[in-house]
């Protein structure tokens, strides 16, 4: 609404009756940072609300602007300035969660909230209420997770391989994430993650070949019964059951963890270079030679 090229040409009025509001209440963290809704912080709303409040005050100096907040988080570069300016701009900040919001017949709103700083119950008649609603993963994110077999974080956003060290990479080679796909972000942060993702992609494409680990799973087709177990446990979606009802490993996707192997009831899978019989020989070797338990062996009758 405040945007000069927005639907109202930058003028503020109520869509219902065309009245310019005298009192605007902004409510922060609606559906964010709550165990009943999104447990995470939506990252951008505090700064945006402060910026909007300041713009409102510039445009309509007579207007009463009130912000209800839990904490104000102005983390990114330059955002603290909004906070400082808002204090000078005569905007009322009330720390507290809004308990009730009602509307009367004239479309006037009543906001009731407990102020946790003064310990009082506040009641404000507002002409317009602006909610800072939480940011959710888009429907497309869900689809991408399903179709591409990507990882999903606890909040429903895409998950990266490693939040600190590999923040753009997904478990699938050649698929990178940036911006709000991985969680709430503001514009500068989204741009920098997009650049990082692009450079990751460029680095991959700059080589003519992809270097692939040789440690990958291998199926013994004569043993596989097509039970789908390995398919379910593989995090990289590297195994699928083919038309002949036999498991098949996608050699480019397999990372060689070996989780499928120990889950296969038919023992039909083996990991190249880390084969079962190699481990067995290793264990046996340690048991009979390395640890010098041969004297003790006499009292151990293993069956």
151 or 226: CB nearest another protein: 151
| Partner in contact with 229, chosen from ligand SF4, another protein, none, beta carbon below 5 to 8 Å by kind | ligand SF4
Q: How far is CA 192 from CA 79, 151, 167, in A?
A: 17, 22, 12
The answer for residues whose C-beta is within 8 angstroms of residue 111's C-beta and 6 or more apart is 25, 27, 68, 98, 100, 101, 122, 123, 124, 125, 126, 129
Is 29 or 217 the residue whose CB approaches ligand SF4 more closely?
Answer: 217
d(CA 10, CA 13): 10
The three-state secondary structure class of 40 is coil
Q: Which does 176 bind (CB under 5 to 8 A by kind): ligand SF4, another protein, none?
A: none
**Cα–Cα distance between 176 and 160 in angstroms, integer?**
8
**d(C-alpha 175, C-alpha 149), whole Å:** 11
d(CA 166, CA 101): 43
As given in the structure block, the two tokens for residue 139 are 């429907």
Among 11, 123, 166, 228, the residue binding ligand SF4 under the rule CB under 6 A is: 228
Q: How far is the CB of 220 from ligand SF4 (least distance, A)?
A: 8
Query: Which is nearer to ligand SF4, 87 or 232 (by Cβ)?
Result: 232
The residues pairing with 67 across neighbouring beta strands, listed in sequence order, are 26, 93
* Piece in contact with ligand SF4 (CB under 6 A), picked from 61-69, 112-120, 216-224, 276-284: 216-224
Q: Which does 287 bind (CB under 5 to 8 A by kind): another protein, ligand SF4, none?
A: another protein
Total interface residues for ligand SF4 by CB under 6 A? 29
| d(C-alpha 38, C-alpha 155), whole Å | 8
Using CB under 6 A as the binding rule, whether residue 255 contacts ligand SF4 is answered as yes
Q: Which is closer to ligand SF4, CB of 56 or CB of 230?
A: 230
| Sole binder of ligand SF4 in the list 42, 113, 230, 270 (CB under 6 A) | 230
Chain residues binding ligand SF4 by CB under 6 A are 216-217, 219, 224-230, 233-234, 236, 238-239, 241, 247, 249, 254-260, 264, 266, 268-269
């Amino acid at each position: 609404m405040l945007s000069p090229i927005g639907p109202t040409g930058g003028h503020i009025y109520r869509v219902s009756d065309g009245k310019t509001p005298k009192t605007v209440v902004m409510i922060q963290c609606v559906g964010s940072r709550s165990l009943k809704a999104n447990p995470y912080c939506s990252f951008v709303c505090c700064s945006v609300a402060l910026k909007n409040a300041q713009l409102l005050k510039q445009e309509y100096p007579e207007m009463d602007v009130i912000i209800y907040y839990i904490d104000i988080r102005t983390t990114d570069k330059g955002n603290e300035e909004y906070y400082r300016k808002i204090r000078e701009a005569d905007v009322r900040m009330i720390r507290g969660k809004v308990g009730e919001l009602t509307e009367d017949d004239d479309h006037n709103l009543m906001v009731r909230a407990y102020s946790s700083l003064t310990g009082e119950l506040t009641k404000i008649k507002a002409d317009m209420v602006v909610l800072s609603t939480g940011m959710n993963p888009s429907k497309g994110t869900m689809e991408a997770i399903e179709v591409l077999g990507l990882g999903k974080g606890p909040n429903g956003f895409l998950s990266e391989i490693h939040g600190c060290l590999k923040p753009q990479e997904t478990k699938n080679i050649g698929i990178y994430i940036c911006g709000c796909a991985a969680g709430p972000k503001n514009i500068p942060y989204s741009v920098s993650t997009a650049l990082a993702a692009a450079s990751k992609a460029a680095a991959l494409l700059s080589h003519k070949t992809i270097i692939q680990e040789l440690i990958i799973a291998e199926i013994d087709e004569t043993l596989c019964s097509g039970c789908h177990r390995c398919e379910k446990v593989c995090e990289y979606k590297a195994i699928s059951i083919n038309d002949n009802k036999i498991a098949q490993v996608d050699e480019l996707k397999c990372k060689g963890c070996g989780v499928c192997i120990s889950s296969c009831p038919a023992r039909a899978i083996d990991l190249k270079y880390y084969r079962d019989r190699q481990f067995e020989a290793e264990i046996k070797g340690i048991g009979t030679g390395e640890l010098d338990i041969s004297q003790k062996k006499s009292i151990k009758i293993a069956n």
